[in-house]
């Protein structure tokens, strides 16, 4: 009987493993193989070292709270007392930090007068001691009845949107609820009724059908905000239309005013022109008469009128020459010959001839 290559490889594998199959039949061989496989897997499990499980270590970051000073005039970075106490209560109820860690976080968040109040409690005070002390100093002093009266008498103010109005209602009801005056099961219905009851008249008239159909407070608030937004958009659109119309009217009025001013200026210019023409006409006859009078003056200074009318000037009238003293001409046109004594030569000559 010849042994095949596969059988040789199988025998070589058994020899490397150091095992010797014990089987006379086919069934015995299969049973031996299963038994060997089970024992081999158990041996592998025993040889694998078991990894010891170590407890998990959780590192938590130190909690932080909003800054609280206790001043009435707080800044935007400072929290009010009710908000600060709410943060402390939430951190306390979360269970992620122990009581001592929450106390240390509360102490680190205090500033100013609030920090001095905590200091006066001493180093061994607990978180409950701190909250009790702050409640007596900064807590609400109103009675349950007065807070509920404020809730039922509250109304939406002019300029206050629906979101701010609803949050103000929730704040009032929360304060009454903390004092044990409100049934938690009736909280939603109380808010829904007062939200619509305290609305401004205009918005209330336009949202009556929503109050009858919507029974949830948050859903009613959403519907009211939608109606409010639509009203604001219509108002803005109307305002833009009115502004545009007023601008057009103003531009038309400006054009008319400009035309009126131009016409007034044209009238004033025309009036001035007419007055200047009248003055010119009044001055022209005087100038013409003067020119005619001096134009027809004779050599001896006697004036004649061109139209044949008698002259108005006499012979003795007229300009006087400062050189010779004669009338009828001026110094610039004087042609009279004078001697060194400023006498006329013809007069001297005639005198000499007469004496001869």
183 exposure class (CB count in 10 Å sphere: 0-12, 13-18, 19+): exposed
Mean pLDDT computed over 23-52: 63
Q: Which residues fall within 8 angstroms of residue 130, CB to CB, at 6 or more apart?
A: 103, 106, 107, 118, 121
Task: Report whether pLDDT(340) > 50.
Answer: yes
pLDDT of residue 307: 43
* Length of the chain counted residue by residue: 356
Most confidently predicted of 49-63, 170-184, 325-339: 170-184
Lowest mean pLDDT, pick from 39-53, 59-73, 190-204, 329-343: 39-53
Instruction: Give tens-digit pLDDT for 225-244.
Output: 999 999 888 888 877 777 77
Query: Cα dist. 5→13, 18, 116, 209, 345 in Å?
Result: 12, 20, 95, 94, 182
pLDDT of residue 313: 47
Q: Which residues fall within 8 angstroms of residue 296, CB to CB, at 6 or more apart?
A: 303, 304, 305, 306, 311
Local structure of 110: helix, strand or coil: strand
Instruction: Extract the tokens encoding 168.
Output: 């103000």
Q: What is the DSSP secondary-structure string of 289-326?
A: HHHHHHHTB-TTS-B--TTSPPPSS-TT-S-B-TTT--
Mean pLDDT computed over 103-127: 92
Mean pLDDT computed over 83-99: 90
Lowest mean pLDDT, pick from 45-49, 237-241, 338-342: 45-49
Local structure of 245: helix, strand or coil: helix
How far apart are the C-alpha atoms of 105 and 66, rounded to whole Å?
10
Mean pLDDT computed over 108-120: 92
8 A C-beta contact, residue 20 and residue 14: yes
pTM for the model stands at: 0.48
How far apart are the C-alpha atoms of 252 and 259, rounded to whole Å?
11
- Taking Cα atoms as reference points, which of 15, 119, 298 lies closest to residue 7? 15
Q: Which residue has the tokens 């020119």?
A: 291
- Taking Cα atoms as reference points, which of 287, 179, 156 lies closest to residue 225? 156
How far apart are the C-alpha atoms of 156 and 174, rounded to whole Å?
18
- Taking Cα atoms as reference points, which of 172, 212, 174 lies closest to residue 193? 212
H/E segment holding residue 224: helix 217-295
Instruction: Extract the tokens encoding 299.
Output: 């050599």
8 A C-beta contact, residue 114 and residue 129: no
Instruction: Give tens-digit pLDDT for 278-301.
Output: 888 877 654 544 455 444 444 444
How far apart are the C-alpha atoms of 264 and 270, rounded to whole Å?
10
Most confidently predicted of 232-236, 330-334, 338-342: 232-236
pLDDT of residue 300: 46
pLDDT of residue 234: 85
Residue of 241 and 53 predicted with greater confidence: 241
Instruction: Extract the tokens encoding 343.
Output: 């006498």
pLDDT of residue 196: 92
Lowest mean pLDDT, pick from 57-71, 92-106, 290-304: 290-304
349 exposure class (CB count in 10 Å sphere: 0-12, 13-18, 19+): exposed
Q: Which residues fall within 8 angstroms of residue 61, CB to CB, at 6 or more apart?
A: none
Radius of gyration, CA atoms only, the chain = 63
Q: Which residues fall within 8 angstroms of residue 271, CB to CB, at 6 or more apart?
A: none
Backbone angles phi, psi at 104, to 5 degrees: -65, -40
Backbone angles phi, psi at 67, to 5 degrees: -70, 135
How far apart are the C-alpha atoms of 169 and 166, rounded to whole Å?
5
H/E segment holding residue 73: none
- Taking Cα atoms as reference points, which of 176, 103, 175 lies closest to residue 133? 103
């Amino acid at each position: 009987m010849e042994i095949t290559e596969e059988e040789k490889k199988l025998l070589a594998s058994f020899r490397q493993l150091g095992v010797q199959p014990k089987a006379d039949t086919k069934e015995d061989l299969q049973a031996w193989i299963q038994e060997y496989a089970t024992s081999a897997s158990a041996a592998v499990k025993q040889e694998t070292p078991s990894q010891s499980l170590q407890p998990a270590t959780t590192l938590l970051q130190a909690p932080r709270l909003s800054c609280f000073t206790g001043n009435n005039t707080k800044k935007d970075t400072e929290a009010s007392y009710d908000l600060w106490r709410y943060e402390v209560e939430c951190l306390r109820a979360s269970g992620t930090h122990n009581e001592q860690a929450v106390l240390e976080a509360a102490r680190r968040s205090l500033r100013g007068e609030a920090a001095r109040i905590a200091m006066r409690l001493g180093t061994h005070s607990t978180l409950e001691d701190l909250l009790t002390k702050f409640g007596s100093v900064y807590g609400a002093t109103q009675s349950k009845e007065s807070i509920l009266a404020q809730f039922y008498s509250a109304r939406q103010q002019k300029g206050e949107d629906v979101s701010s109005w609803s949050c103000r209602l929730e704040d009032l009801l929360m304060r009454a609820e903390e004092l044990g005056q409100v049934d938690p099961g009736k909280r939603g219905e109380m808010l829904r009724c007062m939200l619509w009851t305290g609305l401004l008249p205009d918005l209330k008239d336009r949202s009556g059908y929503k109050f009858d159909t919507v029974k949830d407070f948050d859903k009613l608030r959403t519907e009211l905000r939608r109606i409010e937004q639509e009203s604001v958009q219509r108002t803005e659109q109307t305002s833009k239309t009115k502004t545009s119309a007023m601008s057009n009217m103003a531009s038309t009025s400006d054009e008319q005013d400009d035309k009126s001013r131009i016409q007034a200026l044209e009238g004033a210019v025309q009036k001035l022109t007419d007055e200047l023409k009248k003055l010119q006409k009044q001055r022209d006859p005087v100038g013409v008469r003067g020119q005619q009078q001096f134009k027809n003056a004779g050599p001896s200074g006697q004036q004649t009128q061109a139209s044949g009318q008698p002259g108005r000037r006499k012979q003795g009238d007229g300009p006087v020459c400062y050189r010779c003293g004669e009338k009828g001409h001026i110094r610039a046109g004087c042609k009279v010959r004078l001697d060194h004594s400023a006498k006329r030569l013809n007069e001297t000559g005639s005198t000499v001839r007469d004496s001869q």
